[in-house]
Amino acid sequence: MSDTELIELEEEEHTSQLTAPVFRRILTLLTPHWKWVLGFLITIALTSALDAYFTFINKQIVDTGIVPGDKARVMELAILYGVFQILQAGFVFTFIYLAGVLGERVQYDLRKMLFNHLQDLSLSYYAQNAVGRLIARVTSDTGRVADLLTWGVVDTTWAVMNIITSVTFMAIINWKLALIVFTVIPVMLYIAVQFRKKILVEYRVSRRTNSKITGAFNENFQGVRVVKALLREDENTREFQGLTTQMYKASYRAAWLSALFLPTVQIIAALALGVIVGYGGTQIQLGLMTIGGIQAFVSYLTFMMWPIQDLARVYAEMQHSIASAERIFKLADTPPEVHDRPGAAEAKTLMGEIEFDHVDFYYEDRKPVLQDFTLRVRPGEMIALVGPTGGGKSTIVNLLCRFYEPRAGVIRINGRDYRDYTLASIHSRIGIVLQTPHLFSGSVRENIRYGRLEATDAEVEEAAKIAGAHDFIVTLEKGYDHNVGEGGNLLSVGQKQLISLARAVLAKPELFIMDEATSSVDTLTEALIQRGMEALMQGRTSFVIAHRLSTIRRADRILVIENGRIAEQGTHAELLKLRGHYYRLYTQQFRHELEVQYGVADQQTSEASETSPSGTMSEVLGEALAAD
């Protein structure tokens, strides 16, 4: 099931009610724009008042113009009616314009607030929350809250003002008859709200089942080979039919309730009309009411039916908006796990000694990743980290970059706890090339310049030459102005990696980190990246997480990380002589490369002519290790 479907399912299951604290906080979003709010509330009120007054003018036309046959009076009232229509058209334009602008301003404020906050949140937050959910918070949830504060307020104000003005004019015409109508309004409101609640329940069941159906479609399409191989067609069809039947029944009930709602309201309104006509007729005979007055009463009662339905609809939609607001506020209130300490200083340089002092670390599952990890790195030293997946290699560099912070122990840079430095001053002095490089939509030049916007074109090209990327860039259709596509999908993995390396070169970092940057590229590209790395590492402290061990032979120190501890450390030659963990990793990888090269497994009994010019594969391996 996709992120969007999960969000829909979460929303349908949300049982949030309209609580005062949440609603008050929503209303505070309007505070910076109170002039716009006041403007469109006034224009809505005036528009609604004119709507009700038009019916009163119609009464006057009948009673003082048509019945007595006064054509001049009819013309006078008709002109007045036309003037007010033009005036109302201006009010309608004004409040729709003001509401539209207000909605965009509120949504802009929310999106800006959330985007800025997301920039400050730590990596741990992104590791625990799906990207689709976060995008939904910034897009659909902010839109829904903005709609509540604009069109929701518009519809509510319109409905309430229509009811108030209608009842007011009815009271002016005949207050006794108005009391009868006034007793009907709460009944109609209650019925409307109850119907909306029941329809909403069925709608939620339908949407929840629809999400399951969509998930079933997705799983069957993606796993069609497995479905056919395991003969699951009939069982999947039965499950799918069960879901579609459930959705049909829920949708049927919702449609039935929707169809029943309007006739029910109309019956109540008809009963009220019957009372009005009967009582009004008696009043006319007694000379206490006019024909125009009865006509106006009927119009006002009919006029109030739609506002009552609107209030019920807005109430139902308000529940969704409150749920969206709660999700927005929850995100906005989430504090960054890693943040600057009070009084944090600017790090002048990261070129000094780096020390991990008895560091412990675990993620949210509290399963230890690093335990009592201690390491001292000299300025300018190249440290290579190798070992099995999950051993803690990436965690070490993530801690060093301060994407996370130790749970226990301390990391020092230049002899000082690195938490005493500002995050910005640390991050600005670190260059990172990841295993899976990420490029942003735009040109090659823009991506290389991403970390140093003030760099000149000449500096960009020089960085590309150092990284080994210049030669392939100039062969692109538009060279450095070539569009890389979303995520760099118009380039190969190797090309993206070289551009990523050029970006790091241009940033001139003091601390350089390579996270298995050559694991997914071909041999030729690996050589180019290796040369770029060596140029970038000169005079800089560097950490290299290595998948291909052949790329780290020149490291000052190689650390074998297993279960969050340093199992071995030393140079390439020293570790080979130990014949321990590193030796086994290296020989296994080298043996695999030979098997790929010669296309056969190592067999001591193989003929020399069938494996290599030098003899069996084991002999080749022995000669290579001896040379190392």
pLDDT, greater one: 131 or 40:
40
Statement: residue 618 has pLDDT above 70? no
Statement: residue 132 has pLDDT above 90? no
Q: Residue 58 belongs to a domain with what CATH number?
A: 1.20.1560.10
pLDDT, greater one: 281 or 329:
329
**pLDDT score, position 411:** 93
- Is residue 431, in this structure, part of any structural domain at all? no
**pLDDT score, position 74:** 86
Q: What tens digit of pLDDT does each residue of 336-366 get?
A: 888 888 888 888 888 888 999 999 998 876 7
pLDDT, greater one: 459 or 515:
459
As a whole number of angstroms, the distance between CA 364 and CA 403 comes to: 14
Matching residue, tokens 């490291």 = 555
**pLDDT score, position 615:** 46
Confidence of residue 230 (pLDDT cuts 50, 70, 90): low
**pLDDT score, position 522:** 64
pLDDT, greater one: 529 or 427:
427
Mean pLDDT across 502-519: 80
- Is residue 198, in this structure, part of any structural domain at all? yes
Give how many domains the chain has, as a whole number: 1
DSSP β-bridge partners for residue 383: 543, 557
Residue 435: C-alpha distances to residues 103, 438, 518, 544 (Å): 43, 9, 7, 11
Confidence of residue 607 (pLDDT cuts 50, 70, 90): very low
Mean pLDDT across the chain: 79
Confidence of residue 52 (pLDDT cuts 50, 70, 90): confident
**pLDDT score, position 443:** 92
Sheet of 430-433: strand order equals 430-433, 511-515, 541-545, 382-386, 557-562, 565-570
Statement: residue 43 has pLDDT above 50? yes
Side-chain-side CA neighbours of 499 within 13 Å: the count stands at: 33
Confidence of residue 203 (pLDDT cuts 50, 70, 90): low
DSSP letter for each residue of 215-227 = HHHHHHHHTHHHH
Q: How many CB atoms lie within 10 A of CB 159?
A: 21
Which residue spans within 387-459 are E strands per DSSP? Answer: 408-413, 416-417, 430-433
Mean pLDDT across 489-510: 86
Matching residue, tokens 């070490």 = 396
**pLDDT score, position 207:** 62
Selection from 507, 506, 543 nearest residue 399 by Cα: 543
Mean pLDDT across 576-605: 68
**pLDDT score, position 603:** 44
Alpha helices in 121-152 (DSSP H): 123-128, 131-136, 142-147
Statement: residue 562 has pLDDT above 50? yes
- Is residue 37, in this structure, part of any structural domain at all? yes
As a whole number of angstroms, the distance between CA 539 and CA 554 comes to: 14
Q: What tens digit of pLDDT does each residue of 70-110 get?
A: 888 889 888 998 998 999 899 989 988 988 888 889 989 98
- Is residue 560, in this structure, part of any structural domain at all? no
- The proportion of the chain whose per-residue pLDDT surpasses 90, expressed as a percent, equals 11
**pLDDT score, position 293:** 80
Whether the full predicted model's pTM is greater than 0.75, yes or no, is no
Statement: residue 42 has pLDDT above 70? yes
Mean pLDDT across 442-469: 89
- Is residue 13, in this structure, part of any structural domain at all? yes
**pLDDT score, position 604:** 43
As a whole number of angstroms, the distance between CA 521 and CA 435 comes to: 10
Statement: residue 263 has pLDDT above 90? no
- Is residue 605, in this structure, part of any structural domain at all? no
C-alpha of 11 from chain center: 15
**pLDDT score, position 16:** 46
**pLDDT score, position 605:** 38
Confidence of residue 375 (pLDDT cuts 50, 70, 90): very high
- Is residue 85, in this structure, part of any structural domain at all? yes
Bridge-based pairing state of the strands 382-386 and 541-545: parallel
- Is residue 362, in this structure, part of any structural domain at all? no
Q: What tens digit of pLDDT does each residue of 146-164 get?
A: 888 888 888 888 888 888 8
Q: Range of 158's domain?
A: 3-332
As a whole number of angstroms, the distance between CA 509 and CA 429 comes to: 5
